[in-house]
């Protein structure tokens, strides 16, 4: 049995391989590696899985290469509305925020909700006020905006105007970041953060802050973080569905994850992916799109990162 493991994703909204320049891939690869290093450092010294997934997600939220925090997608009105959640598999405690506009690191906001204990999910201005009351870093909207997201919003608006939104690439549509971990004490945790999809309706909330859909962790079973069209993750209760298949059908984490991503969701013709870790330290990272930013590391200390089919060592 693996003593500990960590897996991360940077979203299945990855540009086609021919459109991803070597410089863009190297920059994203570096940030994926730094996220793995942040989580691994905690797990290696015997730290908690929930601290490891938070640390990994913070690195990706701070990177402009992923759709979360700095670099998040813009809604139809050119506004960032941020969603995140985190779950502790040991106690099933969870915290989430949605529709926030100013929390620098939404995953830290979600963790604060978990630690506060009275609520699982806080929305909109109340989430921002809660974060400020807890002394968390907040930013003006401009902090989250990148030129890449401005171009993606313009592209999606053009698709909508032309009636070709269905043909838009995954990179033009959406993206998410997430992490799952097993620690040396046998505890599991999961965390997910996103800006949603480009040109989304104001006030829209996807699966990322919904416990049991985009994020789920239960000791003895698995931890899941998803990426894709959130409405379908919610309808299929993806995180819990995978855990249920493992607990009640006896499937392993790779079989259960592949069934949901490659069969249940693929028939809807939507891009989807996830990372998962089982109670034995097994890692799964299925996706049905052209690519998915992802990476993993176990107690063997071998770091792996990828954007498309080829998996590479890091550094």
Catalytic amino acids? Answer: 176
Tell me the C-alpha to C-alpha distance, in Å, between residue 63 and each of 30, 39, 95, 103, 296: 10, 16, 23, 15, 18
CB 293 within 8 A of CB 28: yes
Sequence-separated (6 or more) residues with CB below 8 Å from residue 197: 73, 173, 174, 206, 229, 230
Residue for token digits 């392993």? 252
- As a whole number of angstroms, the distance between CA 194 and CA 150 comes to 16
Is the sign of the CA dihedral 256, 211, 173, 61 positive or negative? Answer: negative
As a whole number of angstroms, the longest Cα–Cα distance in the chain is 54
Of 62, 66, 80, 180, the C-alpha closest to 127 is 80
- As a whole number of angstroms, the distance between CA 298 and CA 182 comes to 9
Task: Enter the DSSP assignment of 140.
Answer: -
CB 208 within 8 A of CB 186: no
Tell me the C-alpha to C-alpha distance, in Å, between residue 10 and each of 22, 135, 144: 17, 27, 16
**DSSP per position, 48-68:** -HHHHHHHHHHHHHHSTTSSS
- As a whole number of angstroms, the distance between CA 154 and CA 186 comes to 46
Of 196, 222, 199, the C-alpha closest to 209 is 196
């Amino acid at each position: 049995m693996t003593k500990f493991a960590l897996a991360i994703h940077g979203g299945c909204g990855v540009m086609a391989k021919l459109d991803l320049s070597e410089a863009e891939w190297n920059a994203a690869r570096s940030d994926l590696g730094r996220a793995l290093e942040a989580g691994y450092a905690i797990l290696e010294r015997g730290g908690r899985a929930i601290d490891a997934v938070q640390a990994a997600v913070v690195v990706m939220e701070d990177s402009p290469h992923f759709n979360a925090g700095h670099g998040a997608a813009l809604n139809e009105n050119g506004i960032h509305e941020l969603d995140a959640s985190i779950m502790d598999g040991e106690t099933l405690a969870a915290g989430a925020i949605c529709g926030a506009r100013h929390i620098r690191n939404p995953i830290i906001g979600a963790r604060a909700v978990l630690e506060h204990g009275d609520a699982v999910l806080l929305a909109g201005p109340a989430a921002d006020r809660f974060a400020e009351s807890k002394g968390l870093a907040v930013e003006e909207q401009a902090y989250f905006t990148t030129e890449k997201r401005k171009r993606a919003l313009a592209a999606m608006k053009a698709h909508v105007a032309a009636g070709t939104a269905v043909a838009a690439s995954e990179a033009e549509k959406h993206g998410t970041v997430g992490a799952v971990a097993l620690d040396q004490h046998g505890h599991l945790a999961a965390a997910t953060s996103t800006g949603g999809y480009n040109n989304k309706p104001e006030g829209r909330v996807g699966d990322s802050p919904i416990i049991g859909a985009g994020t789920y962790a239960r000791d003895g079973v698995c931890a899941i973080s998803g990426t894709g069209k959130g409405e379908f993750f919610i309808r299929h209760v993806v995180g819990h569905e995978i855990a249920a298949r493992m607990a009640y059908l006896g499937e392993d984490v790779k079989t259960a994850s592949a069934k949901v991503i490659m069969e249940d969701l693929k028939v809807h013709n939507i891009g989807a992916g996830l990372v998962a870790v089982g109670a034995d330290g097994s890692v799964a990272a299925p996706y049905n799109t052209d690519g998915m930013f992802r990476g993993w590391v176990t107690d063997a200390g071998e770091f792996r990162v990828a954007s498309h089919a080829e998996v590479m060592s890091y550094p």
